[in-house]
């Protein structure tokens, strides 16, 4: 089983690849074009390349919610476009995408979120999680992708609880 986890961002998307539960590849896809659709196109092309090269069997992606982008409608729209472009590209391979909300994958990694926790504090905690777990020094985009994959592959769901992972609605 090869799992790809994606932390989509409008300019820097983190991707991690796991073979079974072992992290085997990670990278950040940077796109600096001023046109958001050109950036999306570059990111999707690289995700497609990684997907086919690694013969990925599972794809998990962070879901986009307004709170995560501080209710910035423009950023929210671009992230939804990117999410849809990835889902559509993978649909051509008969591959579904599963989505995690950030608070749920972080909870499974032991990272606190919520009241009084700033975005910068969470990002630093994500980086620290990866450093502690994998002894890697990475940026927050890669740390998030690794955290998403780790949470997906190591689901400590208590008896009677439900998971926030959902299948693509497309």
Q: What is the DSSP string of the chain?
A: -EEEEEE--SSEEEEEEEETTEEEEEEEEE---SSHHHHHHHHHHHHHHHHHHHT--EEEEEPP-GGGGTT-HHHHHHHHHHHHHHHHHHHTTT---EEE-HHHHHHHTT---STT--HHHHHHHHHHHHHHHH-----HHHHHHHHHHHHHHS--PPTT-----EE---
Q: Are 148 and 100 in contact (CB under 8 A)?
A: yes
- Distance of alpha carbon 53 from alpha carbon 126, whole angstroms: 27
pLDDT digits (tens, 9 = 90+) for 137-164: 999 999 999 999 999 999 765 555 455 5
Q: In 3D, which of 96, 101, 76 has the Cα closest to residue 86?
A: 96
pLDDT tier for residue 39 given thresholds of 50, 70 and 90: very high
Per-residue pLDDT at 75: 82
Average pLDDT of 67-73? 66
pLDDT digits (tens, 9 = 90+) for 126-136: 999 999 999 99
Q: In 3D, which of 88, 57, 85 has the Cα closest to residue 153?
A: 57
- Judged against a pLDDT cut of 70, whether residue 54 lies above it is answered with yes
The domains of the chain are located at 2-167
* Residue 18 bridge partners (DSSP): 3, 23
pLDDT tier for residue 45 given thresholds of 50, 70 and 90: very high
Length of the chain: 170
Per-residue pLDDT at 165: 55
Per-residue pLDDT at 136: 97
Average pLDDT of 21-30? 98
Q: Are 66 and 16 in contact (CB under 8 A)?
A: no
Per-residue pLDDT at 4: 98
CATH T-level assignment (fold) for domain 2-167: Nucleotidyltransferase; domain 5 (3.30.420)
- The mean predicted confidence, pLDDT, of the chain is 89
């Amino acid at each position: 089983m090869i799992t790809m986890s994606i932390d989509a961002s409008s300019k820097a998307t983190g991707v991690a690849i796991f073979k079974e539960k072992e992290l085997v590849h990670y990278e950040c896809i940077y796109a600096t074009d001023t046109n958001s659709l050109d950036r999306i196109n570059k990111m999707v092309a690289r995700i497609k390349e990684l997907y086919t090269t690694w013969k990925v069997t599972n794809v998990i992606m962070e879901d986009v919610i307004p709170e995560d982008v501080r209710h910035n409608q423009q950023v929210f729209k671009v992230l939804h476009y990117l999410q849809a472009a990835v889902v559509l590209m993978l649909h051509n391979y008969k591959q579904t995408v599963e989505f995690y909300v950030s608070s749920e994958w972080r909870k499974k990694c032991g990272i606190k979120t919520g009241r009084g926790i700033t975005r910068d504090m969470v990002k630093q905690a994500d980086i620290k999680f990866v450093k502690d777990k994998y002894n890697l020094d990475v940026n927050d985009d890669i740390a998030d992708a690794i955290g998403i994959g780790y949470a997906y592959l190591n689901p400590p769901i208590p008896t009677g609880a439900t998971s926030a992972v959902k299948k693509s609605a497309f």
